[in-house]
Amino acid sequence: MAVAIRLTRTGAKKQPYYRIVAADSRYARDGRFLELLGTYDPRATSGKVKYNAERMRYWLSQGATPSDTVRSLLKEGLPAAG
C-alpha cells in the first residue's frame, strides 16, 4: 500500500478549506483516508496551516510521500526532530 500525504477539499463553493490526510494513493481525492493530520485554510490571514508534527513525522518515516502542495506547506515550518 503506497501512502500519500495530501489535501482533501472541504468547505463551500468558492470558500475552500482543506484537510491534510494520510491516504492510500489509490483512493479518490476526497475519499477514504487513513488518518487526519491537519488542516489548511488558504483564506485565513494567520494560522493557515495546522498539523500534528509528531504524526506527520511518523508517516514520513514509514515512507509516505507528500504531494507537491503539502511539501511546500511543510517547508514553512515542520519542527526539527529531537
Structural domain spans, the chain = 3-76
pTM of the model: 0.85
Closest listed residue to residue 34, CA positions, set 11, 58, 4: 4
Q: Is the pLDDT of residue 81 over 60?
A: no
Residue-wise pLDDT tens digits, 5-45 = 999 999 999 999 999 999 999 998 889 999 999 999 989 88
Residue at grid coordinates 506527520: 56
Check whether domain 3-76 has CATH 3.30.1320.10, yes or no: yes
How far is Cα 71 from Cα 65, in angstroms, rounded to an integer? Answer: 9
